[in-house]
Amino acid sequence: MFGKSEENTKERDDKTSNCFLRLATMGEFKVHRVRFFDYMPTAIRAMAFNAHTERLALGRMDGSVEIFNFADHYFQEKVIPGKDSRSIEALCWVGGRLFSAGLNGEITEYDLENLRPKYSLEAYGGPIWTITSNSQGTHLAIGCEDGTVKLFEVLEERIQFERNLDRQKGRIISLSWHPSGTQIAAGMMDMIRVFDVPTGRAVQRLLVDRGFGGSKSRETVVWSVVFLSDCTIISGDSAGKVQVWDGHTGTLVKTHLVTKWDVLALSVSKDESSVVAGTSEGTVIQFQFIAPTLQQQQDKEWVRTRTFKNHTHDVRALAEIETAIVSGGMDTQLVVRPLLEKFDERSHASALRKIHFPHRNLVFCAKKAGLLLFQFPGQLELWRLGESDGHGKPGDSLPLKRKPEKLLHLKRKGEDHICCSALSSCGGWLAYSTMSSVRLYRLQTDNNDISITKVPKLPKVLRSAHQLCFSSDSSKLFAAFSQSVLVIALSQSECKYVHTLKPKSGSRQPIHLMTNSVDGKWLATANSDCEIHVYNVQKLKLHCIVPVYSSCPSAMGIHPTTNNLTMVHADQQIFEYSIVEKQYTDWSRKLQKQGLHNLWLDRDTPVTHVTFNPKNPEQILLHDMHMFCIIDQSLPLPDQKTQFYNQMTLRSLSEQERPSHLHAFKICKTFQDLLSVSLLGDQSLVMVERPLLAIASQLPAPVRQKKFAT
DSSP string, 491-551: -SS-EEEEEEE--SS---PPEEEEEE-TTS-EEEEEETTS-EEEEETTTTEEEEEEPP-SS
Pick the more confident residue, 450 or 522.
Answer: 522
**pLDDT of residue 622 exceeding 70:** yes
**Angstrom distance (rounded) from CA 678 to CA 27:** 16
The mean pLDDT value for 543-563 works out to 96
| Predicted local confidence at residue 25, as pLDDT | 37
Residue 615: CA atoms inside 13 Å, Cβ hemisphere, count? 8
Q: Give percent above pLDDT 70 in the chain.
A: 90
Which stretch of 457-471, 474-488, 523-537, 638-652 has the lowest confidence by average pLDDT?
638-652
Average pLDDT value for residue range 376-395: 84
Residue 159 reports pLDDT greater than 70: yes
pLDDT of 707 > 60? The answer is no
660 pLDDT more than 90: no
**In the Cβ-directed half-sphere of 507, how many Cα atoms lie within 13 Å?**
21
pLDDT at residue 9 is higher than 50: no
Domains of the chain: 44-278 (2.130.10.10), 279-342+350-355 (no CATH), 359-502 (2.130.10.10), 517-695 (2.130.10.10)
Condensed to tens digits (0 to 9), the pLDDT of residues 418-446 reads 999 999 999 999 999 999 999 999 999 87
Separation CA 667–CA 25 (nearest Å): 16
Give Cα 610 distance to the centre of its chain.
19
One-letter amino acid of 385: L
Across the range 375-396, mean pLDDT stands at 84
Find the helix or strand (DSSP H, E) in which 475 lies: none
Question: Tens of pLDDT along 501-517?
Answer: 999 877 899 999 999 99
List, for residues 15-42, the tens digit of each pLDDT value.
222 223 333 334 467 889 999 999 999 9
What mean pLDDT comes out for the span 301-306? 92
* pLDDT score recorded for residue 209: 87
Q: What is the C-alpha separation between 303 and 311, in angstroms, rounded? A: 23
Spatial separation of the C-alpha atoms in residues 695 and 332, rounded to whole Å = 9
> What 3-state class would DSSP assign to 709?
coil
Residue range 134-144, pLDDT digits in tens: 999 999 999 99
Length of the chain: 710
- Distance, CA of 92 to CA of 137 (rounded, Å): 11
Encoded amino acid at 60, one letter: R
Strand order in the sheet with 232-237: 222-227, 232-237, 241-246, 251-257
Q: What is the pLDDT of residues 160-200, one digit of tens each?
A: 999 999 999 999 999 999 999 999 999 999 999 999 999 99
> What is 43-110 written as a DSSP string?
PEEEEEEETTTTEEEEEETTS-EEEEETTTTTEEEEEE--BTT---SEEEEETTEEEEE-TTSEEEEE
Of the pLDDT bands very low, low, confident and very high (cuts 50, 70, 90), residue 11 is very low
Q: What pLDDT, on a 0 to 100 scale, did the predictor assign at position 4?
A: 33
**pTM for the whole structure:** 0.93
- Would you say 33 and 14 are in contact if contact means Cβ atoms under 8 Å apart? no
Query: Which of 158, 160, 102 has its CA nearest to residue 131?
Result: 102
Q: Which among 421, 391, 409 is positioned nearest to 23, based on CA atoms?
A: 391
Q: Nearest 5 degrees, angle CA 5-CA 10-CA 13?
A: 135
**In this predicted model, what pLDDT tens digit does every residue of 240-259 receive, in sequence order?**
999 999 999 999 999 999 99
Q: Is the pLDDT of residue 573 over 70?
A: yes
Q: Tell me, what's the pLDDT at 703?
A: 60
Nearest Cα neighbor of 464 from 91, 40, 111, 68 is: 111
Q: Which residues contact 485 (CB under 8 A, 6 or more apart)?
A: 478, 479, 500, 501, 511, 514, 523, 525, 535
Burial (CB < 10 A; 0-12, 13-18, 19+), residue 160, is exposed
Percent of the chain with pLDDT over 90: 75
φ/ψ of residue 450, rounded to 5: -135, 140
